[in-house]
Amino acid sequence: MPATSTAGLMDGTALARRLVERSAAKAATITERTGAAPCLATVLVGEDPASVTYVRMKRNRCAKAGITSRHVELPAATTTAELVGTLTELSRDPGVHGILLQHPVGAHIDERAAFEAIAPEKDVDGVTMHSFAAMGFGLPGFVSCTPGGILRLLDAYDVPLAGKHAVVVGRSPILGKPVGMLLLGRDATVTYCHSRTADLSGHVRQADILVAAVGRPRFLAGADIKPGAVVIDAGYNPGNVGDVDFDSARERASLITPVPGGVGPMTIAVLLAQTVDAAAEQLGLGLPPVN
Ligand code: NAP
C-alpha cells in the first residue's frame, strides 16, 4: 500500500445505499413469490431515548426496503424470564424471519440469556453464541452487523487482507472481537488492543489495517498511523466524532472511513440484507444471498 499525502475516503453511505437497493430487490422478489414480505421483529425494553431512536431508524429503513417490521415494546421492569418468553415466541413464529433485540437492555436482565432465546436462523443481528461461533469457525451464519459492514467496505475498496497486519483497538463482543475474527478468517494477522494493552501506540504503528472500536473521541492520533495504512473508524461519539483524529490520520493513511458516512450506514444495511436472506432461507426460495 503506497503512502499518499491525503487518504482516499471510503464512502459507506454510497455502499450502504447499493446494499439496501439489492436487499429491497430481493425483498420484492420474496413478496411476489410468497405474497408476504420479509418481517423483522424489533424488541425494545424500556424507553432509553437513544435505543428508541435506533429502533425507529431501523424500522423506517425496513419499510423503505419493503421489509415489514413487528415492534414489541416491553416495560423497563421486564424480567429476564419475560423477555426470554417473548423472544422464544418470536423465534417460533413462522411469520417472523429476523429478530432484533435492541441493547443494552436493563442491568437487571441477563442479556446473554435473552440473546440465546433468539433462534440462530433468525439472528440477523449476529448476537447469539451460535452466530459468534460460526464467525469464529468461518462457517455460514449471520455476522454482527457492524463487523460485517466493515468487511464489506474493505472488499468494496479492494483492500488486500491476506498477510496484512490488522490491529483492532477494542474487544467488545459486538464489534472489536468479531471484526478481528472476520479479518483472521480472511488471513490477516490480527492483533487485539484494549484498555490493558501495554504500548498501544507501538501496536497501532504496525497496522496495515487499523480498526478503531474504542468509543473515545479522536483517541488514535495520525502520528501513530503507519504511512499507507487503511483506517477504519467504527467509533461514533457525541458530536459526530470518531475514535480516530481524522485530519491528522488522513495525512498518513491511504484509505480512511469518515465519521459520519463511513462505517455507520453499513450497520443497518447489513441488518436489512441479513433479514431478507433469513426470510428467503426460511421460505426455501433458493435465492442467492444479498452481496
Ligand atoms: P465498548 O463495548 O465500550 O468497548 C470499547 C472497547 O474499547 C473495549 O474493549 C475497551 O477495552 C476498549 N478501550 C476503552 N478504553 C481504552 C483505552 N484507553 N485504550 C485501549 N482500549 C480501550 O464499545 P463498542 O460497543 O465496541 O463501541 C465502540 C465504538 O464504536 C463506540 O464509539 C460506539 O459508538 C461505536 N459503534 C458504532 C457502531 C456503528 O454502527 N457505527 C456500532 C457499534 C458501536 P476493555 O475491553 O479492556 O474495557
User: Does 19 fall in a domain?
Assistant: no
Q: Whole-angstrom Cα distance, residue 215 to residue 223?
A: 19
Residue 248, annotated ligand binder?
no
Q: For residues 152 and 273, is the Cβ–Cβ distance under 8 A?
A: no
Looking at residues 14-38, what average pLDDT do you find?
98
255 CB burial (10 A radius; 0-12, 13-18, 19+)? buried
In the block, residue with C-alpha cell 463482543: 173
Q: Is 161 in the pocket of ligand 1 (CB under 6 A)?
A: no
Residue 152, annotated ligand binder?
no
Average predicted confidence (pLDDT) for the chain: 97
Residue 54: the pLDDT is 94
| 201 and 94 within one domain | no
Q: Is 144 in the pocket of ligand 1 (CB under 6 A)?
A: no
Nearest Cα residue to 204 out of 157, 252, 163: 252
Q: What CATH number does the domain containing 112 carry?
A: 3.40.50.10860
| 95 and 171 within one domain | no
Question: Rounded to a whole number, what is the distance in angstroms from the first to the last CA of the chain?
Answer: 26
Residues constituting the chain? 291
| 180 and 99 within one domain | no
- Which residues are part of the catalytic machinery? 58, 102, 125
User: Does 25 fall in a domain?
Assistant: no
Residue 1: the pLDDT is 52
Residue 3: the pLDDT is 47
Q: Is the pLDDT of residue 262 over 80?
A: yes
This prediction has a pTM of 0.97
Residue 239, sorted as left (phi over 0), alpha (psi -120 to 50) or beta, turns out to be left
- Answer positive or negative: Cα dihedral of 86, 91, 94, 100: positive
95 CB burial (10 A radius; 0-12, 13-18, 19+)? exposed
User: How does pLDDT run across 89-130, given as a tens digit for each residue?
Assistant: 999 999 999 999 999 999 999 999 999 999 999 999 999 999
Residue 217: the pLDDT is 98
Looking at residues 240-261, what average pLDDT do you find?
97
Q: What CATH number does the domain containing 153 carry?
A: 3.40.50.720
| 170 and 107 within one domain | no
Supply the range of the domain harboring residue 60: 31-120
Q: Is 175 in the pocket of ligand 1 (CB under 6 A)?
A: yes
